[in-house]
């Protein structure tokens, strides 16, 4: 840590810090005994007892005799998170589809609402009103208010929920956080979709063990989320890096951002369509269908057909790996449907040609197992991060 | 923060944390009163008194009546860091020149040793032996042992001090940390030169106010250091990102790293020489001299002569800004000598064409005021970071 000194820690902050650590452990890791909590959090048993008693009184956990008995001693009590005691609203604003979900403490999905809109149709006002109404209906059904709201938007998003630009939604300057917060009367956090994909993979997906990881996804555009030393990497003003607008092919196709030959113009949805011989702007199912069928062919067939796409994927990944040095790169959303042969070939390019990959001793590049669910899981986790720190 | 829960904080960690915060405040911010320490660190006066008394007893600070008196009350005592009570050895291993400095608590330079070697001459063993001897002579002169050692190396460096590759030194696989630690019998930390440049600018240079900044420097190769939310950004295994090996010109000049058209081949020292009409591999003074003389010409002269260089500088900076979203980019070492017209033109390119710069509302791009001193200042600060946390 560099820069100005951090403020001192007062003893009265310690209890809150410990409570947050315990809540996060239960939320992410699931039920466990007090003894396990003490060992994992490095706290003594009386501290754990006081914290668990307080949470049990508030109805956030219950303690229950474990079904499995080990040995002849007194059975140990399991501490179980109570999903309905503490739940959040998670929203995934997609280019074609919007989903609203109620997610309980511990990760259980308590209910969802969703709808499809033709691309670019509908104003932000209409969509935000629909989201607000869906959220209120979920709250009525559950019978309590959410402790927070997390929203995923495919665009350039500031930490305070202001969406500077979401080109594929045709949004510009929309204060999503402020609007939804007013409609739902709850704290609302908004994140870039790829940032939240990274958070999801890191919290509940394939990247839980990776302290340093990058999530690269294609919905329509190309987005990226970075986890560094277990925390989300954000730039100034809370903006997340825009991996899709790294120029990889100077003088290439013009991009809406003002550059030419951005990674997005070379591996985004339109580039995928071109590689697959589909018209640009084909519906998502058509693209995924074609990728799935190609994945069933011989590796060489997929590689030949997607040669150029694979080369640009590999080149961009070399840059991402050389700049950020992750242990793991997760390819999400449409990229999760790529044939294995394409992913493996791009990974091989990185292994061979990235200085940093060689230094680290091989960086893994894998398709996301959460697929398109990553965004809404990430939106829920964003809301929980804040709610559990209260 | 995502991922596994952080361990709980025990009260016995609080005192150490406060002591570190106080030491860092004095080291970086210089002398101040107890009242100022209390206000800045958010601690009460009795806590500050206990800490300062402890440090005074150990000889690390002295308290002294302030020369300036304000008002008629009792003069307040200034807490002054004692440079010789706690000093570190800072080493800058450069391609042509190596410098060893003793830097005291508070930042005062207590002594230096340095020597020049022709490029690529001398083995790592010889150089490390010379550094060890120079360090021991400095310690003898000061009359005490350093509390730590920080070393800057222009290469791919792991957190534990293992230099994977330092191409311009012709080093490969040198355990610099282990060797120097054995020679000096002290803890040794080794950093990449650009990483330490970033640390220097952030701690004592132009970037003290920037929570998110990127340092881009050209010694022979192109290096980069990133500060994110006031902390150094590192990838897995502790490796720092290699901005110089971002491919900006696919199919361009071959780079030793195995790629073609890396940023390093387009804006590194050889590219600077080409732009200036000097033979590749010209001595550093010739390059700096030519840049200085060009800086004295009309802006248009510098721009015309360095057109291609400026374009590649701007393009790479667009990528760096779009990926990392810093508030400030500092151009260091040889780049610090660029004519203003070149820096301004590259900055203008970024302002116009970077999506993230437009979202953030303008990202500053400036030449480093610390110049080539940044590396050794950073090496000292790396050692102090650890020493002051003890």
How many other CB atoms sit within 10 Å of the CB of residue B140?
A: 9
**In chain B, what are the domain boundaries?**
11-81, 85-193+376-387, 206-369
**What pLDDT score was predicted for residue B235?**
82
Secondary structure E strands in A154-238:
156-157, 162-166, 171-175, 188-192, 213-218, 222-228, 231-232
**What pLDDT score was predicted for residue A332?**
96
In chain B, which residues have their Cβ closer than 8 Å to the Cβ of A224? 323
Secondary structure E strands in A212-313:
213-218, 222-228, 231-232
| Average pLDDT of the segment spanning B265-293 | 95
CB contact under 8 A, B211 and A3: yes
**What pLDDT score was predicted for residue B126?**
92
C-alpha distances out from residue A200 to A44, A90, A292, Å:
31, 12, 24
Q: Using one digit for the tens of pLDDT, what is the confidence trace for A67-80?
A: 665 556 667 789 99
**Which among A2, A29, A40 is the nearest to B227, CB-wise?**
A2
Q: Would you give the distance in Å from CA B230 to the centre of its chain?
A: 13
CATH code for residues B11-81: 1.10.10.10
**Which among B14, B236, B326 is the nearest to A327, CB-wise?**
B236
**Residue numbers in chain A where pLDDT is lower than 50:** 1-6
Secondary structure E strands in A258-350:
328-333
A to B CB pairs, distance under 8 Å:
275
> Rounded to a whole number, what is the distance in Å from the CA of B249 to chain A's nearest CA?
7
Element (H, E) at B266: helix B263-267
**What torsion do the CA atoms of A174, A128, A136, A148 make, to the nearest 10 degrees?**
-30
With a threshold of 0.80, does the pTM exceed it? yes
Instruction: For residue A383, give every residue at least 6 positions away whose Cβ sits within 8 Å of its Cβ, in sequence order, or none.
Output: A88, A89, A90, A146, A147, A148, A149, A150, A189
Chain A residue with Cα closest to B19: A8
C-alpha distances out from residue B11 to A12, B98, B352, Å:
10, 44, 51
> Rounded to a whole number, what is the distance in Å from the CA of B2 to chain A's nearest CA?
6
**What pLDDT score was predicted for residue A6?**
47
- Chain-wide mean pLDDT for chain B? 91
Q: Using one digit for the tens of pLDDT, what is the confidence trace for B316-344?
A: 999 999 999 999 999 999 999 999 999 99
**What pLDDT score was predicted for residue B67?**
67
The structure tokens listed for B45 are 């006066």
* Start-end of H helices in A113-236: 124-142, 176-184, 193-204
In chain A, which residues have their Cβ closer than 8 Å to the Cβ of B233? 228, 233, 324
CB contact under 8 A, B236 and A212: yes
**What pLDDT score was predicted for residue B6?**
47
CA B288 – CA B123 distance, rounded (Å) = 27
Q: Would you give the distance in Å from CA B91 to the centre of its chain?
A: 12
**Which among B28, B47, B233 is the nearest to A4, CB-wise?**
B28
**What pLDDT score was predicted for residue A72?**
60
DSSP at B326: -
User: Which superfamily is assigned to A206-369 in CATH?
Assistant: ATPase, nucleotide binding domain (3.30.420.40)
Element (H, E) at A102: strand A97-104
Model confidence at B13, pLDDT cuts 50, 70, 90, reads confident
**What pLDDT score was predicted for residue B74?**
66
> Rounded to a whole number, what is the distance in Å from the CA of B254 to chain A's nearest CA?
12
> Rounded to a whole number, what is the distance in Å from the CA of B179 to chain A's nearest CA?
20
Angle at B256 between CA B254 and CA B261, to 5 degrees: 35
CB contact under 8 A, A322 and B3: no
Single out the residue of B226, B211, B207 nearest to residue B369, CA to CA.
B207
Helical pair B45-57 and B11-29, crossing angle rounded to 10 deg: 70
Instruction: For residue A271, give every residue at least 6 positions away whose Cβ sits within 8 Å of its Cβ, in sequence order, or none.
Output: A265, A309, A312
Instruction: Assess if CATH 3.40.50.410 describes domain A85-193+376-387.
Output: no
CB contact under 8 A, B235 and A212: yes
Q: Using one digit for the tens of pLDDT, what is the confidence trace for A351-363?
A: 999 999 988 888 9
ipTM summary value:
0.88
Beta pairing class for A213-218 and A328-333: parallel
**Which among A5, A236, A258 is the nearest to B41, CB-wise?**
A5
CB contact under 8 A, A7 and B28: no
DSSP at A250: T
3-state secondary structure of B125: helix
> Rounded to a whole number, what is the distance in Å from the CA of B360 to chain A's nearest CA?
6
Least reliable range by pLDDT among A17-26, A73-82, B349-358, B370-379: A73-82
How many other CB atoms sit within 10 Å of the CB of residue B134?
A: 22
CA A117 – CA B358 distance, rounded (Å) = 29
Least reliable range by pLDDT among A167-181, B2-16, B90-104: B2-16
Say if B85-193+376-387 and B206-369 have the same CATH topology.
Answer: yes
CA A98 – CA A133 distance, rounded (Å) = 13
**Which among B6, B40, B212 is the nearest to A236, CB-wise?**
B212
């Amino acid at each position: 840590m560099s820069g100005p000194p951090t403020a001192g820690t007062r003893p009265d902050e310690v209890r809150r810090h410990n409570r947050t650590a315990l809540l996060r452990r239960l939320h992410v890791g699931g039920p466990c005994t007090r003894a396990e909590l003490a060992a994992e959090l490095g706290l003594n048993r009386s501290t754990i007892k006081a914290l668990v008693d307080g949470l049990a009184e508030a109805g956030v956990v219950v303690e229950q005799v474990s079904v499995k008995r080990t040995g002849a001693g007194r059975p140990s009590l399991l501490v179980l998170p109570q999903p309905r005691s503490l739940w959040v609203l998670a929203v995934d604003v997609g280019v074609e589809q919007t989903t609203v979900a109620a997610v309980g403490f511990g990760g259980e999905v308590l209910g969802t609402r969703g709808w499809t809109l033709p691309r670019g149709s509908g104003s932000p006002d209409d969509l935000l009103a629909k989201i607000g109404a869906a959220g209120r209906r979920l709250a009525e059904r559950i019978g309590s208010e959410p402790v927070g709201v997390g929203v995923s938007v495919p665009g350039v998003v500031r930490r305070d929920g202001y969406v500077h630009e979401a080109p594929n939604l045709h949004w510009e300057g929309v204060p999503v956080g402020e609007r939804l917060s007013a409609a739902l009367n709850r704290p609302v956090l908004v994140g870039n979709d790829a940032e939240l994909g990274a958070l999801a993979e890191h919290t509940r997906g394939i990247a839980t063990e990776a302290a340093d990881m990058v999530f690269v996804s294609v919905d329509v555009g190309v987005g990226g989320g970075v986890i560094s030393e277990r925390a989300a990497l954000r730039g100034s003003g809370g903006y997340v890096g825009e991996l899709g607008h790294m120029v990889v092919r100077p003088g290439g196709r013009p991009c809406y951002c003002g550059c030419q030959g951005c990674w997005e113009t070379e591996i985004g949805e339109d580039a995928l369509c071109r590689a697959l011989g589909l018209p640009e702007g084909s519906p998502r199912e058509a693209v995924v269908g074609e990728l799935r069928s190609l994945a069933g062919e011989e590796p060489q067939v997929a590689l030949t057909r997607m040669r150029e796409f694979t080369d640009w994927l590999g080149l961009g990944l070399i840059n991402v790996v050389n700049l950020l040095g992750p242990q793991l790169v997760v390819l999400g959303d449409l990229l999760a449907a790529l044939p294995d042969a394409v992913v493996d070939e791009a990974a091989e390019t990185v292994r061979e040609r990235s200085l940093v990959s060689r230094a680290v001793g091989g960086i893994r590049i894998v398709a996301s197992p959460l697929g398109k669910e990553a965004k809404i899981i990430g939106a829920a986790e964003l809301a929980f991060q804040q709610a559990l720190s209260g």
